[in-house]
Amino acid sequence: MSMMARSFTTLRVAALLAALSISTFVQAQEWPPHNLRILVPFPAGGSADIQARAIADELSKKLGKPVLIENKPGAGGNLAATEAARSVPDGTTLYMATTGTHAANINLYEKLSYDPVKDFQPLTLVTIYPQVITASGPYKDLDLAGLIAAIKQQGDKLNFGSSGVGSPTHLGGELFNREVGTRLMHVPYRGQGPAITDLLGGRLDVMFPSIPDALAMLQAGQMRAIAIMAEKRSKVLPDVPTTAELGYPKLLSAIWAGLYTTAGTPKPVVDRLAKDLAEIVDSPKFKDKFEAMGFEVRSSTPEQFGAYAAAETKRWGDIIKALDIKLN
């Protein structure tokens, strides 16, 4: 037997032993065998991170094992996604995915080190958080029609900021340009915080942040929401009109977050995780906390989440293709 053949056989035996071990834990109701972790592709303190931490606390109580948070930002979420995809398929590694990692990146990057469908097992959708249109300086107090008119009058002189190339705040801005016929120039930042700082300082003209990321400043009057990029109004901003009701039914942009585990995880483990996670997301404690922050809390079955992510991948793929955005 050649060395390559022996190596392949060794890998197959190791995989079989791992699968048998996982099966034994499940059958003996001893799962999980050790601590769990949730990989978060963004720094601590962000929208995805605070959701993951709230879920980790409750999941730990249900499973009787610590659930640790590992923040691995970088490369548009690709670093953490790749690690999650290559983890042992025993259900002890969860991944807090977002629109970027599991709907946009596959359409943005020519080479992606993971497959968001083949490498992951959906568990549940967690939240959807629509984006708002906000502006600075003389444009801050305009309505949507007035803002569009003012931007068009300036040609390509005005700009919009985002948390990075290919981010939802970038794609939301490009979608705005396409749908209303403007030519805002994109200014990418390393994170949303610095971009918002420059918007408040008047160095940026327009931004498209999510409601949770901007809510405190909106409520304090530092920023003003001109419109919500959604079909229905927000519970926390009930007086702000939506783009749909203002005559732009295709100008819809929202970030979503959901939980996956590694593909190949045994079905009993998937079922257990999906059940526990849905109970956590649907609990009054979780809903009340995150809805007050501007999130739309929405659990799902694994099948529903998979279908939703597939529809989002197609939708954003069509938009990205039309805008001809590609990243290396």
The CA-based angle 141-143-144, given to 5 degrees, is 130
Same domain, 213 and 156: yes
Q: Is residue 73 part of a domain?
A: yes
**Is 90 exceeded by the pLDDT of residue 16?**
no
Q: What is the pTM of this model?
A: 0.87
Query: Locate tokens 């906000």: which residue?
Result: 134
Same domain, 56 and 117: yes
- Comparing 26-30, 208-212, 271-275, the range with the smallest average pLDDT is 26-30
**Is 90 exceeded by the pLDDT of residue 75?**
no
Same domain, 123 and 140: no
CATH code, 192 = 3.40.190.10
Using 50, 70 and 90 to split pLDDT, how confident is the model at 5?
very low
Strands 120-130 vs 254-262: parallel, antiparallel or unpaired: antiparallel
Q: Is residue 10 part of a domain?
A: no
State the Cα torsion 131-137-142-148 to the nearest 10°.
-70
CATH code, 263 = 3.40.190.150
Q: Is residue 24 part of a domain?
A: no
Peptide bond into 32 cis (omega under 30): yes
Same domain, 87 and 49: yes
- Measured in residues, the chain has a length of 328
Same domain, 136 and 223: yes
Q: What is the mean pLDDT of residues 16-43?
A: 73
**Is 60 exceeded by the pLDDT of residue 31?**
yes
Q: Is residue 246 part of a domain?
A: no
Same domain, 136 and 211: yes
Q: Is residue 102 part of a domain?
A: yes
pLDDT of residue 29: 63
Q: Is residue 43 part of a domain?
A: yes
Same domain, 44 and 91: yes
Q: Which phi and psi angles does 314 have, rounded to 5°?
A: -65, -45
In terms of residue numbers, what domain contains 198?
Answer: 132-228
Same domain, 113 and 145: no
Q: Give the whole-angstrom CA distance, residue 206 versus residue 219.
A: 18
Instruction: Give percent above pLDDT 70 in the chain.
Output: 91
State the Cα torsion 109-157-147-208 to the nearest 10°.
30
Report residue 232 as tokens. Answer: 């229905």
Q: Give the whole-angstrom CA distance, residue 140 versus residue 133.
A: 10
**Is 50 exceeded by the pLDDT of residue 7?**
no
**Is 70 exceeded by the pLDDT of residue 23?**
no
Q: Which of 209, 228, 247 marks a domain boundary?
A: 228
Instruction: Give percent above pLDDT 90 in the chain.
Output: 82
Same domain, 122 and 262: yes
pLDDT tens by residue, 170-224: 999 999 999 999 999 999 998 888 999 999 999 999 999 999 999 999 999 999 9
Same domain, 140 and 157: yes
Burial 165-186 (b: 16+ CB within 10 A, else e): ebbbbbbbbbbbbebbebebee
Split into its structural domains, the chain has a count of 2
CA-atom Rg of the chain in angstroms: 21
How far from 136 is each of 47, 50, 223, CA to CA, in Å?
23, 28, 8
Same domain, 264 and 116: yes
**Beta-sheet strand order (sheet of 159-162):** 185-188, 159-162, 206-207, 132-135, 225-228
**Is 80 exceeded by the pLDDT of residue 92?**
yes
Structure letter (DSSP) for residue 229? S
Q: Is residue 28 part of a domain?
A: no
- In terms of pLDDT, which residue wins out, 4 or 239? 239
Same domain, 71 and 121: yes
Q: What is the mean pLDDT of residues 17-26?
A: 51
Q: Is residue 142 part of a domain?
A: yes
**Is 60 exceeded by the pLDDT of residue 267?**
yes
How far from 297 is each of 74, 212, 286, 305, 315, CA to CA, in Å?
26, 12, 8, 13, 21
pLDDT of residue 17: 53
